[in-house]
Amino acid sequence: MGILLLLFFISISHAQILTPSGITHGSELEFSNDWIYEKDGPEKVGALRGREYPAAKALAQVIKSKCRHYGCIVENTGGKWGPEFHVLMRDGWWFQISYDPLCVEIQTKPSTLQELYQRENIMEDLIFASARQAGLKALPNRSSHMNTGARSAFKYDVRSLFNFFVDNANNPELATGVFRNNWNTSPPLIASHENAGPVIESIQNRIEKRQIKSFAQLAITVEDELHSTILNPQYNSKRNQDLTFRKLKSLRQRSWVSIFAEDDMPIERRAVRAVRSFHEFILHAELAEHRIAWIKKQPGFLKFTNKHPDNLLELNTVEYFDKWLREMNVEPERYENLIKISTPVAPKSKVNSCQMFYAN
């Protein structure tokens, strides 16, 4: 047993091992290809193009063939747009093969970092290698949504949760070139406010006076007062944000009911370039934990720093990322590849497994 534990920890960079926190991380991993995008058009925004489900089914077939080796099962299930595929591992861990307009989407079970480390090699093969075999890839123009369990991260601490929001708003650079740069689908707060400072201070005062007592109340307040202003219809904060609390509306005040009969819900970070490996997903989960730990060390409420969009035009993403990491006493070397954009590669053939499946 001792040898197994030693091998497990050797496989992880010793400088980056975080104290087990119980914080859970899930993801929505996006894959697509040129064949799916052939059906794109300005009149189809927000709608399926007709090739997403066949692509998802082709991926499910590849994964099902590997389940004979890994001991998993692929089950048909229902989803947002129609039929989907649920992949259940023998130990109870799971992921779902879903789809959204222009992409196939993998939704993973909320898991601690330790659970993710244990599954890295298997999921690298089952998800990412299988996607490549099905003719899919993580395109740099697509995103991965990184979800962190709000209750597992912040318990019932409304102040720290809002500090997490304000800290993200203080770093619009993360959504403007560092992790992603698409304000149409994941705009930072400055895209919808000339100066959100007075509103943020008002919310902080209400938290201090316990007028906002629960994550649900905070989520509704943020939506109504910070994500309802539209300066530019192109950046619709009602529909898209770089970070959202929209799924926290069921998280009530601490009570016997909430302690024993409440499911955790995710804080969703949308401004993340599509990850190219399960390892990159893990690295983003590590960074979330580093930032949460840093947030909890800050006294009182964080002060909002308003930044004008024009000042981000000459952003040096490498320098900013390095500065952001060192603020948390995190060495950049382990994470520097996260912000490197893959060079587009021309497809080897006009026919891929998705197209062959669709043609049959």
Quick one: pLDDT at residue 17? 53
Closest to 356 measured CA to CA, from 29, 31, 95, 33 = 33
3-state helix, strand, coil in the chain (%, to 5): 45, 15, 40
- The most distant pair of C-alpha atoms in the chain lies apart, rounded to whole Å, by 64
pLDDT, one tens digit per residue, over 267-295 is: 999 999 999 999 999 999 999 999 999 99
Q: Count other C-beta atoms under 10 Å from residue 90's C-beta.
A: 10
Residue 322's identity, in one-letter code, is D
Q: What is the pLDDT of residues 205-219, one digit of tens each?
A: 999 999 999 999 999
Q: What is the pLDDT of residue 349?
A: 35
Domain boundaries, the chain: 155-241+284-348
Q: What's the mean pLDDT when you consider all of the chain? A: 88
pLDDT of amino acid 254: 64
- Write down the pLDDT at residue 5: 47
What was the pLDDT predicted at 357?
32
Angle at 84 between CA 82 and CA 89, to 5 degrees: 160
E runs forming strands in the chain? 25-31, 73-78, 83-88, 94-100, 103-108, 145-149, 243-244, 266-269
Which candidate, 352, 182, 211, 343, places its Cα nearest to that of 270?
A: 182
Among 15-29, 54-68, 155-169, which stretch is predicted with the lowest mean pLDDT?
Answer: 15-29
Q: What are the pLDDT digits (tens) for 314-347? A: 899 999 999 999 999 999 999 999 998 754 443 3
Q: Considering the entire predicted model, what is its pTM?
A: 0.88
